[in-house]
Amino acid sequence: MLQRDDADYPAMLRRSPDPPGVLHVDGDAGLLWHPSIAIVGSRAATANGFDTARAFARNLAREGWCVVSGMAGGIDTAAHLGALDVEGHTIAVLGTGIDVPYPLRNTALMARIADHGAVVSEYPPGVGPQPWQFPLRNRIVAGLSLGTLVVEAQAKSGPPLPRDSPPTPGARSSPSPVRSTTRWRAAAIACSATAPSWWRPSMKSKPR
């Protein structure tokens, strides 16, 4: 457990607008300092969206980035799986206690993330899912990340978009229009297969 005034509490999250007073961590707490990109999107992802998110996560993790998401179904699941595909780092920020997998079908995935990354929650062990908890955990996902990639999201869903990013039509197989965007840092890193070495995250020390 990390309290907000602990030296090991992640500095970027501490500087965010509403940092949680306590973080419960199952796994490698040192990853909370690792350069990270969040990948989020719809729980009801299309097959194309799922594959796209997994590919982005795989490529980012291969370049040394930690992939942060919320372990929900759909895009979140794809993001964690993509990082694990290449034995990369991933952090799951839960809207439940760190011993309460949600959705239940992600029980095995949560165990893999704890073994190869970190499972994080502001809620104490044993706390079950409540609808209001999940939007709140999004601020932790953002606070741990240098940028956010929204792969696919329904028009009224939770992932925030810049005001100047209009909705874009989904694939023809999509049941409804989706909106997709990348914040510039995520786009610049993820879309360049030949990124220069100075773009790549350093593993040597905690950022100041």
Task: Find the CATH number of the domain harbouring 21.
Answer: 3.40.50.450
Query: What pLDDT is recorded for position 134?
Result: 86
Quick check: is 205 in a domain?
Answer: no
DSSP output for 130-193: -TTHHHHHHHHHHHT-SEEEEEEEETTSSS---TT---B---TT-SS-EEEEE-HHHHHHHT-T
Q: Report pLDDT digits (tens) over 49-70.
A: 999 999 999 999 999 999 999 9
More confident of the two residues 195 and 6? 6
The DSSP bridge partners found for residue 178 are: 154, 168
Parent domain of 109: 2-158+171-194
Q: Is 181 left (phi over 0), alpha (psi -120 to 50) or beta?
A: beta
Q: Whole-number mean pLDDT of the chain?
A: 79
What is the structure's pLDDT at 195?
38
Question: Worst-scoring range by mean pLDDT, 16-25, 126-135, 190-199?
Answer: 190-199
- Is 113 contained in some domain? yes
Asked if the structure places residue 110 within a domain, the reply is yes
Is 203 part of a structural domain of the chain? no
User: Is 164 a domain residue?
Assistant: no
Say whether pLDDT at 193 is over 70.
no
Q: How far apart, in Å, are the Cα atoms of 137 and each of 18, 33, 147, 201?
A: 11, 18, 16, 25
* pLDDT tens digits, 148-172: 999 876 655 554 433 333 333 343 3
Number of domains in the chain: 1
**Residues linked to residue 150 through DSSP beta bridges, in sequence order:** 40, 181
Tokens of 70: 């919320």
pLDDT of 22 above 50: yes
Both structure tokens of 74: 């759909």
Q: Would 204 be classed as within a structural domain?
A: no
Residue 207 lies in a domain: no
Query: Is 88 a residue whose pLDDT tops 90?
Result: yes
- Domain membership of residue 179 (yes or no) is yes
* 203 pLDDT higher than 70: no
